[in-house]
C-alpha cells in the first residue's frame, strides 16, 4: 500500500483508546495503529505511570505485510504513553446505592442521625443516588461546627497536586426555616484544603445547591484520608434537614497538560514525515 504514507501538511489526530491501552493516529476515516517500539524513560505523575516510548504507526494492511515494508511506510514518533492507575474515589457517584468505599467519621462533638444513600437532585435536573446525612452537634455547644468527615483512604504521590470536587446540597423538607443548612469543606487528613461552602440559613421546603473544590499537594507518597467535612453549629434535632453529597472526584493536575503537549508534539512530528 505505497500511498499510505504520512503527508506533509495533513492533519492527523492522536486518539488514546483507554479501554484497549492503545494509541491510534487518525486521518479522516483512515486509522493508523500504534506499536510501541521501545521505552526510553519512565516517570510517575500522580499514580499515573508515564512512559516515553517510540511508536510505529501503521495501517491494518501494513500490519499484515512484511516487517521491512512496514518500516518503510510507517513513521516512528516519540509519544508519552499513560498507564491509567490514577487515584480515585471508590463509588464517588454513590451509584452502588449505598456507602460502599466511604467511611463516616464524627468530629469530636459531631453526630449524624442519617447516613445512607438516596436519589436526590444534588445537581438540579439530574436526580441520582447521593450520600445522605443529617448532621450537627451531639451536645449543644454555642457556635461550634460539628458533624461528620466522609472520607476514603487514597494513595497519593508526593509533589503532585490533586484537585478535589464534590456536588453538595442542603435540603429542608420541613415547613419551618433553620439557621444552618450545613457547611461543606474538602479535607485531607482532617485539614481543610479548600474554601467552605456555607449554605447559611435555609427556609422551609427549600433546597440550596453548590459544589465544593479543594487542592492538595502531599510532600511524600503515601496513604491519605481524603474527603469532605459536613457540619452545623446546632444539634441534629431538626428532622427535615438533610445534607447530600454526589459526584466526588480526585484528579492529578498535571495530567491533562501533559497529554495536550504530547499530542501537539506528535502532530508536528508527523507533519514533517513523508
Nearer to Ca ion, 217 or 251 (CB): 251
- Count residues binding Ca ion (CB under 5 A): 5
C-alpha cell at 26: 487518525
Using the contact rule CB under 5 A, the part of the chain among 16-24, 100-108, 201-209, 244-252 near Ca ion is 244-252
Residues 58 and 179: their CA atoms lie apart, in Å, by 65
Q: Cα dihedral angle (135, 136, 138, 141), rounded to 10 degrees?
A: 170
Nearer to Ca ion, 127 or 176 (CB): 127
- 86, 128, 161, 251: which one binds Ca ion (CB under 5 A): 128
- Residue 93 in contact with Ca ion, rule: CB under 5 A: yes
Grid cell, residue 225, equals: 484520608
Question: Is residue 167 within the footprint of Ca ion (CB under 5 A)?
Answer: no
The pair phi, psi for residue 71, each rounded to 5°, is -65, -35
Closest to Ca ion by CB, 61 vs 116, is 116
The closest residue (CB) to Ca ion is: 128
Site string for Ca ion, 2-41 (x = CB under 5 A): ----------------------------------------
Considering the complex, state which of residue 97 and residue 159 has its C-beta at the smaller distance from Ca ion.
97
**Is residue 246 a contact point for Ca ion (CB under 5 A)?**
yes
Residue 129 found at the interface with Ca ion (CB under 5 A): yes
Give CA–CA dist 136/142, Å, rounded: 12
Judged by beta carbon, residue 131 or residue 218, the one nearer Ca ion is 131
Which among 4-12, 92-100, 110-118, 216-224 is the span making contact with Ca ion, rule CB under 5 A? Answer: 92-100
Q: CB of residue 175 vs Ca ion: minimum separation in angstroms? A: 28
List residues near Ca ion by CB under 5 A.
93-94, 128-129, 246
Amino acid at each position: 500500500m505505497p500511498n499510505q504514507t504520512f503527508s506533509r501538511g495533513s492533519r492527523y489526530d492522536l486518539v488514546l483508546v483507554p479501554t484497549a491501552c492503545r494509541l491510534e493516529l487518525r486521518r479522516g476515516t483512515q486509522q493508523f495503529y500504534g506499536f510501541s517500539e521501545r521505552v526510553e524513560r519512565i516517570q510517575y505523575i500522580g499514580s499515573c505511570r508515564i512512559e516515553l516510548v517510540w511508536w510505529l504507526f501503521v495501517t491494518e494492511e501494513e500490519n499484515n505485510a512484511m516487517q521491512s515494508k512496514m518500516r518503510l511506510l510507517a513513521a516512528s514518533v516519540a509519544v508519552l504513553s499513560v498507564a491509567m492507575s490514577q487515584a480515585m474515589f471508590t463509588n464517588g457517584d454513590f451509584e452502588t446505592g449505598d456507602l460502599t468505599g466511604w467511611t463516616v467519621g464524627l468530629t469530636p462533638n459531631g453526630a449524624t442521625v442519617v447516613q445512607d444513600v438516596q436519589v436526590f437532585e444534588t445537581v438540579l435536573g439530574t436526580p441520582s443516588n447521593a450520600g445522605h446525612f443529617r448532621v450537627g452537634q451531639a451536645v449543644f455547644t454555642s457556635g461550634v461546627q460539628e458533624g461528620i468527615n466522609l472520607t476514603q483512604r487514597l494513595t497519593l504521590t508526593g509533589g503532585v497536586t490533586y484537585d478535589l470536587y464534590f456536588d453538595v446540597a442542603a435540603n429542608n423538607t420541613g415547613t419551618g426555616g433553620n439557621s444552618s443548612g450545613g457547611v461543606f469543606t474538602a479535607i485531607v487528613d482532617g485539614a481543610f484544603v479548600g474554601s467552605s461552602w456555607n449554605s447559611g440559613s435555609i427556609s422551609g421546603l427549600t433546597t440550596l445547591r453548590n459544589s465544593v473544590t479543594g487542592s492538595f499537594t502531599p510532600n511524600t507518597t503515601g496513604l491519605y484520608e481524603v474527603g469532605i467535612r459536613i457540619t452545623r453549629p446546632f444539634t441534629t434535632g431538626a428532622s427535615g434537614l438533610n445534607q447530600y453529597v454526589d459526584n466526588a472526584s480526585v484528579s492529578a493536575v498535571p495530567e491533562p497538560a501533559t497529554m495536550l503537549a504530547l499530542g501537539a508534539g506528535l502532530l508536528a512530528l508527523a507533519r514533517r514525515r513523508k
